[in-house]
C-alpha cells in the first residue's frame, strides 16, 4: 500500500497580494495578507518533512494542465481572460474581486490543476493506493465561466474530467469536506449520473444561498448531487454522524471506481473563516470512514486535493494527521494542549445537528 503526495514549491508562490483578509489593498483598511496566503499549506508541507512522514510517501511530480484539460470544464473565455491578466505586470483576479493572482498566476493555477490530475492518474494506474495533492490555488468554487472564492480553475473537476476522457466508463464520487459548499465541482457534473458529488459544509456560509439539501442535480444527474448543510458549530461527532448517515451509505450504493475528496481544513475549530469545531482527530476519523468504504467498493482508491484552511498553525496538524491515516504510518503531531480540544462540549452531537443530518439523508435518492 503506497500513498502518493503532490507538492510543488511554486504552489507557495501563488501571489494573493496584500489584501487585508478579503479587502483589496486600499485605504479602507491597512493592507495585510490575503486569507488565502501560502502559510497554512507551506507549513503543512514543512511539517510532513520534519515529522518524517514524507519519507513514507510516494512523491508525484505535477505538471501544468494543458489547455485541453482546462477546457473540459471551463469556457474558452475564462481560460483566455486568466491567461491575458496573468501576462500583465500586475496580475489579475479570477472573477469576484476576492480571488487575486499575480503575474504568471496562470502557470501556477494550471500547475495546481495538473497536480490533481497527476494524483488521480497515479491512483487509477495503481502506482499508489491513495494520494494527497497539496495544491494551491484551490479549485472547488470555480465554475465553467469564472473563478471565485479564491479559486481559479476547478482542480478536482478537471482531474475527474481528464480521467473520464481516458476512460468514459469511470464512475467517480466526490466527498467535499471543506467548510464551504463545493459548488464548482457540483456544477461541473450536475447533469452527469456517473459522477456523484457530495458536499458537507457549514449551512449557507459561502457561496451564500448555495448547497441547500434541495440542490440534488439536474436532468439525468438528478439525485447525483448530495448536499449536507450542517449548523454552525458542528464538531467531530456531528461530522462522523453525517458521514455514517449520509455519505457512507450513498458511497456504498453508488459504488464508485474512485473517491475524490476536495479537502479543506477550514471546518477546524481554529479556522478564521469557518464556525465549525472539527479537530485533527475528527479529520482522522473521517479519513478512516472513507478508507473503509473505499476498501470495500474501489480497492481503497482515494484522491484528496487540497482546498481551504486558513489557520497557519492548525492546518498542518490536520493535514499530517490525515496523511498518517491514509498511509498507515503512525504519526502523532498533536500536543496535549491541542488534544484537549477533542473533549470539549461542542464535539458532542446535539439534537439540531442530528435533525439537519437526518433531513439531508431523507433527501438522498438515486438509482
Ligand atoms: C471566499 C470569500 C469569503 C469566504 C471565502 C471562502 C473560501 C474558501 O475557503 N472556500 O472553500
Ligand atoms: Zn473553504
- What CA–CA distance (Å, rounded) separates 332 from 324? 8
pLDDT per residue over 90-125, tens digit each?
999 999 999 999 999 999 999 999 999 999 999 999
Catalytic residue among 14, 45, 140, 141: 141
Q: What average pLDDT does this structure show over 203-229?
A: 98
- CA-nearest residue for atom 7, ligand 1, is 149
Residue nearest to atom 8 of ligand 1 (CA): 308
Residue 184 and residue 143 in contact, taking contact as beta carbons nearer than 8 Å: yes
Average pLDDT over residues 124-144: 99
**18 touches 44 (CB < 8 A):** no
Say yes or no: CB of residue 137 within 6 Å of ligand 1: no
| Whether the CB of 234 sits within 6 Å of ligand 1 | no
CA atoms of 323 and 303, how far apart (whole Å): 11
> Is 69's C-beta closer than 6 angstroms to any atom of ligand 1?
no
Ligand 2 midpoint to CA 308 (Å) = 4
Does residue 150 have its Cβ closer than 6 Å to ligand 1? yes
pLDDT (mean) for 256-284: 98
pLDDT digits 0-9 by tens, 291-320: 999 999 999 999 999 999 999 999 999 999
Q: What is the pLDDT of residue 318?
A: 98
CA distance 129 to 118: 13
State whether the beta carbon of 273 lies less than 6 angstroms from ligand 1. yes
How much distance in Å is there from the Cα of 179 to the middle of ligand 2? 5
Active site (annotated) includes residue 14: no
Q: Give 160-181 pLDDT, tens digit per residue.
A: 999 999 999 999 999 999 999 9
Secondary structure of the chain in the HEC alphabet?
A: CCEEEECCHHHHHCCCCCCEECECCCCCCCCCCECCCCHHHHHHHHHHHHHCHHHHCEECCCCCCCHHHHHCCCCHHHHHHHHHHHCCCCCEECCCCCCEECCCHHHHHHHHHHHHHHHHHHHHHCCCCEEEECCCCCCCCCECCECECCECCCHHHHHHHHHHHHCCCCCEEEEECCCCCCHHHHHHCCCCCCEEEEEEEECCCCCCCCCCCCCCCCHHHCCCEEEEEECCCCCHHHHHHHHHHHHHHHHHHHCCCEEEEEECCCCECCCCCCCCCECHHHHHHHHHHHHHHHHHHHCCCEEEEECCCCCCCCHHHHHHHHHHHHHCCCCCCCCHHHHHHHHCHHHCCCHHHHHHHHHHHHCCCCC
Strand 3-6 to strand 130-133: parallel, antiparallel, or no bridges (unpaired)? parallel
C-alpha cell of 36? 488565502
Ligand 1 atom closest to the CA of 264, numbered from 1: 11
Other beta carbons within 10 angstroms of residue 355's beta carbon come to: 11
CA of 205 relative to ligand 1 center, distance in Å: 9
Determine if ligand 1 sits within 6 Å of the CB of residue 176.
Answer: no
pLDDT at 367: 77
96 CA closest ligand 1 atom index: 2
Q: Whose CA is nearest to atom 6 of ligand 1?
A: 149
Q: What is the mean pLDDT of the chain?
A: 98
- Between the CA of 338 and the centroid of ligand 1 the distance, in Å, is 25
1 pLDDT above the threshold of 90 = no
Of all atoms in ligand 1, which is nearest to the CA of residue 180?
11
Measuring CA to CA, which residue among 163, 106, 168, 164 is closest to residue 131? 163
CA 283 to chain CA centroid, Å, is: 13
Q: pTM higher than 0.75, yes or no?
A: yes
Report the separation in Å between the CA atom of 181 and the middle of ligand 1, taken as the mean of its atom positions.
9
- CB of 95 closer than 6 A to ligand 1? no
Amino acid at each position: 500500500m503506497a500513498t502518493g503526495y503532490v507538492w510543488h514549491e511554486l504552489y507557495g508562490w501563488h501571489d494573493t497580494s496584500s489584501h487585508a483578509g478579503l479587502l483589496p489593498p486600499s485605504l479602507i483598511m491597512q493592507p495585510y495578507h490575503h486569507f488565502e496566503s501560502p502559510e497554512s499549506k507551506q507549513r503543512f508541507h514543512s511539517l510532513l518533512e520534519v515529522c518524517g512522514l514524507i519519507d513514507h510517501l510516494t512523491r508525484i511530480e505535477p505538471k501544468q494542465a494543458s489547455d485541453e484539460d482546462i477546457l473540459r470544464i471551463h469556457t474558452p473565455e475564462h481560460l483566455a481572460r486568466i491567461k491575458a491578466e496573468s501576462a500583465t505586470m500586475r496580475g489579475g483576479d479570477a472573477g469576484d474581486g476576492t480571488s487575486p493572482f499575480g503575474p504568471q498566476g496562470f502557470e501556477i493555477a494550471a500547475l495546481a490543476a495538473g497536480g490533481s490530475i497527476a494524483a488521480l492518474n497515479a491512483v487509477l494506474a495503481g502506482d499508489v493506493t491513495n494520494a494527497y495533492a497539496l495544491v494551491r490555488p484551490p479549485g472547488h468554487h470555480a465554475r465553467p465561466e469564472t473563478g471565485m472564492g479564491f479559486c481559479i480553475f476547478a482542480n478536482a473537476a478537471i482531474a475527474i474530467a481528464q480521467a473520464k476522457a481516458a476512460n468514459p466508463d469511470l464512475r467517480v464520487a466526490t466527498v467535499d469536506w471543506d467548510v464551504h459548499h463545493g459548488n464548482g465541482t457540483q456544477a461541473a457534473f450536475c447533469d452527469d449520473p456517473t459522477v456523484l458529488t457530495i458536499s458537507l459544509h457549514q449551512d449557507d456560509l459561502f457561496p451564500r444561498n448555495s448547497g441547500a439539501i434541495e440542490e440534488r442535480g439536474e436532468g439525468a444527474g438528478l439525485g447525483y448531487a448530495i448536499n449536507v448543510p450542517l449548523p454552525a458549530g458542528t464538531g467531530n461527532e456531528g461530522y462522523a454522524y453525517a458521514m455514517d448517515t449520509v455519505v457512507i451509505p450513498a458511497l456504498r450504493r453508488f459504488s464508485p471506481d474512485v473517491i475524490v475528496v476536495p479537502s479543506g481544513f477550514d471546518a477546524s475549530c481554529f479556522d478564521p473563516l469557518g464556525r465549525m469545531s472539527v479537530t485533527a482527530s475528527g479529520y482522522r476519523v473521517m479519513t478512516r470512514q472513507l478508507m473503509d468504504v473505499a476498501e470495500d467498493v474501489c480497492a481503497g482508491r482515494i484522491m484528496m486535493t487540497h482546498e481551504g484552511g486558513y489557520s497557519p498553525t492548525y492546518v498542518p496538524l490536520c493535514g499530517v494527521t490525515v496523511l498518517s491515516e491514509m498511509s498507515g504510518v503512525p504519526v502523532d503531531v498533536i500536543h496535549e494542549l491541542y488534544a484537549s480540544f477533542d473533549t470539549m462540549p461542542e464535539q458532542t452531537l446535539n439534537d439540531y445537528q442530528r435533525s439537519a443530518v437526518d433531513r439531508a439523508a431523507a433527501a438522498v435518492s438515486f438509482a
